[in-house]
Structure 1
Amino acid sequence: MKILMIEDNESVSEMMQMFFLNEGWDATFKFDGKEGLDAFLADPTAWDMITLDLNLPSMDGMLVAREIRKVSQVVPIIMLTARDSESDQVIGLEMGADDYVTKPFSPLTLIARMKALYRRSEILEVAQPSKNENKEFDIETKHFQMNTKTREAYLNGQAIEGLTPKEFDLLYTLAKKPRQVFSREQLLELVWDYQYFGDERTVDAHIKKLRQKIEKVGPQVIQTVWGVGYKFDDSGVA
């Protein structure tokens, strides 16, 4: 992997550099939010993973994540934060982070999170289809279609735009078993590929953003089953 680590604590960067080298990963370190964003913008397709501290000089991590997502919806972002409040973590996810790790953290935990996130993005990453390519959908109902090869989703014939990798995976997991109720714990294990040890706010934050994007093109197809979790149901779509 080629990693961009935006982290103002040099001791943390030095520690992680040893672990990255041990994995054979090529890492670039920036200690300032603006410098980190500039490094990303200089070549947005060069990076396989971004780790992003929340508290940074010049530009904080929330703003950096938002600017990165304006350019790329697919580069995986893990946010590192010393803050432990629910609002900060949820806002970070809503700004476009795929995951977050709270400081102080174990380097091995961060490495495991990065591997899991990269593994899923690498498996699902494909080239854009040509204009003449026939669309074949992995999921197709009267109102909804998904193609995992082209990473496209449609509701009533309109594309659901701007889905991040995790949002697409979450929608696919729900839609391939319509009307089946998934608990938050099940979705954490299925979509994120590892357990969050009871931290369910990640699912709720991604569901919120996913619903906002679905509602731009049609009726809501992700339903809340109170006290249990979420399900996909497009049977009520007109």
Structure 2
Amino acid sequence: MYFLVVEDEERAAAQLQKGLSEVSVVSDVCSNGLDAVALALKKEYDLIILDLMLPGIDGFEVLKRIRAAGVATPVIVLTARDSVTDRVTGLRSGADDYLVKPFSFAELIARIQALLRRGQALQHDELRVADLVVNFFAHRATRAGKHLDLTPKEFSLLSLMIRRQGEVLSRARIAERIWNLGFDSNMKIVDVKIGNLRAKVDGPHEKKLIHTVRGVGYVLEDRELAGE
């Protein structure tokens, strides 16, 4: 999963990003309302966590602008502003949920799960392809009933691929989503990490699920590796 965290307090933003990484969520962080709008319009996020008190423009205006531009990404407002008026304004401006600081990280994760489930976004906590099963919030993957010992980045990579099963993912898209690398970066890291993941997911099994599409990228799907 790929989130945008909009938070101008550096320590709070770092804690959020670290906590999200522990449940296999890759996140961009920005501290300015105008930058938040630009990123939300430019990139394909699965969810946005938005503070209200921001430099540039406040969170209410961020919501109005991205919704007016047609961005339907789920948004959770995470703020110290706890008045009923603020809550109503946030929800009317386009927020999907509103959580007041200080908050429990466990509650935030539960709200994220519920929100993504309601939006059918990413559509389930658990997905299966053939005998491969990935449970995102339990941070667990199995193949033929056996636990796969994956690093956090490998789990994030597998999560991205199984959520986009059947869709060919370019190296550039994978690099941006998993490592936040730009298009001018060295894409060899993608090939190396895909090789490591393939060894763990497909290595001991006759049926291969991770396939190379030459000159394009990689795809995870239930088919034979014919011609590759």
TM-score (normalised: structure 1): 0.49
The answer for the alignment partner of 2:28 in structure 1 is 28
Which residue number in structure 1 is paired with residue 39 of structure 2? 39
Distance 2:75 2:5 in 1: 10
2:99 is equivalent to residue 104 of structure 1: no
Deviation by residue 1:4-47 (Cα, 9 ceiling, x = unmatched): 1111111111111121111111100001111111111123xx11
- CA 1:71/1:60 → structure 2, altered by over 3 Å: closer, same or farther? same
Aligned AA (1:63)? E
User: How high is the TM-score relative to the length of structure 2?
Assistant: 0.51
Opposite residue 3 of structure 1, the aligned amino acid is F
Aligned to 1:91: 89
Aligned match of 1:19: 19
The answer for unaligned runs of 5 or more in structure 1 is 126-238
Aligned counterpart in structure 1 of residue 46 of structure 2, from 45, 48, 52 = 48
Size of the aligned set, in residue pairs, is: 123
Task: Give, in angstroms, the shift of residue 88 of structure 1.
Answer: 0.6
CA distance in 1, matches of 2:86, 2:50: 14
Choose 88-97 or 112-121, whichever is displaced more. 112-121
The answer to whether the Cα contact below 8 Å between 2:6 and 2:32 also exists between their aligned partners in 1 is yes
Output one character per residue of 1:88-146: Cα deviation in whole Å (capped at 9) or x when no partner.
11000000001000011111111111111012212697xxxxxxxxxxxxxxxxxxxxx
- Match of 1:116, SS state, is helix
How far is 1:71 from its partner? 2.1
1:82 maps to a residue whose letter is A
* Structure 2 letter corresponding to 1:50: I
User: What's the CA shift for 1:86?
Assistant: 0.5
Change (3 A) 1:87 1:122: same
Q: Secondary structure at the match of 1:36?
A: helix
Q: Corresponding residue for 2:70?
A: 72
Q: 2:154 maps to which residue?
A: none
Which residue of structure 2 lines up, in the alignment, with residue 213 of structure 1?
Answer: none
Unaligned runs of 5+ in 2: 124-228
Distance 1:25 1:73 in 2: 20
Percent sequence identity is 41
What's the C-alpha RMSD, in Å, of the aligned pairs? 1.6
CA distance in 2, matches of 1:123, 1:88: 27
How far did residue 80 of structure 1 move?
1.2
Q: Secondary structure at the match of 1:35?
A: helix
What residue number does 1:206 align with? none
Give 4+ residue runs of structure 1 displaced > 4 Å after superposition.
none
CA distance in 1, matches of 2:36, 2:64: 13
Within 5 Å, which residues of 2 pair with 1:88-167?
A: 88-122=86-120
Does 1:7 pair with 2:1? no
Paired letter, 2:89 = I
Report SS of the residue matched to 2:120. helix
Paired residue secondary structure (1:59) = coil
